[in-house]
Amino acid sequence: MQTHRYVIVDVFTDRALAGNALAVFPDARGLDDGKMQALARELNLSETVFVLPKQGPGQARIRIFTPAKEIPFAGHPTLGTAFVIGTSVQLDPIVLETAAGPVPVRLEREAARVVFGWMNQPLPHVVPFDDTPALLAALHVERSELPVVAYDNGLRHVFVTLANPAAVAALKPDLAALARLPEFAVSAFAGEGTKWKTRMFAPAFGIVEDPATGSAAGPLAVHLARHGRIAFGSTIEIEQGTEIARPSRLFARAEGSAEHLTRVEVGGAAVIVARGEFRI
């Protein structure tokens, strides 16, 4: 029998029991793929992270699992893991090796306590999406205010623009229909200026609705800038998770131009709320 310790972190919030809960196993040596997946299923959070010795230029390698599968990259697991590591080391940035490439995270501290982080995400690129009518029907909406576009930054997100935040809050999607779009997480959003509201559904990944989706926040900033809703380089503030009683706040910005994207950053706070161990 081995003991495997884990930490629970609430990410994209500055208070406990809000944001997106994450489990981090700071030392996952000795766990094989099957046990990692079983532990992620047991904890049943949006994602669980397993930290392993580095293989390249980073401080550590991370593997990210949803309750259903391993994924190459996700935002709140990367940021939350950097907070956990940052409690014991003073490195800045902390570079985490993900399956989508190394991700630097810059941490901000107050009196030696980590209070905020900015991650430099993999640059998203547009990917084909050919199921717009089925997607709109599954969301029970008639149209998208902007073109329906999908982006890939290690995960594939497709974006649907609604008329106002109230329309986003009122969504009651057909989850079974959304699950038939297995390669994509679905983000519906609305807002103006620097303030935006979003909800993300990914039943095919084992996530009915996500409280805070860092991997979608960066592409959202790109999408808004590409379609003239914000300027490149502007920082947006994103509200998410209210409808499932996990209010979250994310920040994102995209730098460069529609022809040449140079940097995508996503930031937020996080708090460590629990520690435990498995004996298996």
Q: Measure CA 6 to chain center.
A: 20
Q: Give 18-52 as a DSSP string.
A: -SEEEEEES--TT--HHHHHHHHHHHTSSEEEEEE
Residues β-bridged to residue 268: 117
Find the catalytic residue in 47, 97, 209, 239.
47
CA distance 203 to 210: 10
| Six-digit token string for 134 | 């089925």
Catalytic residue check, 209? no
Query: Helix, strand, coil shares of the chain as percentages rounded to 5?
Result: 20, 40, 35
Residues in the chain: 280
Instruction: Provide long-range contacts, Cβ within 8 A and 24+ apart, for 81-84.
Output: 81/22, 81/24, 81/49, 81/51, 82/107, 82/117, 82/119, 83/9, 83/11, 83/107, 83/114, 83/117, 83/270, 83/272, 84/7, 84/9, 84/24, 84/26, 84/272
Q: Give, rounded to a whole angstrom, the gap between the first and last alpha carbons of the chain.
A: 5
Residues assigned a catalytic role: 47
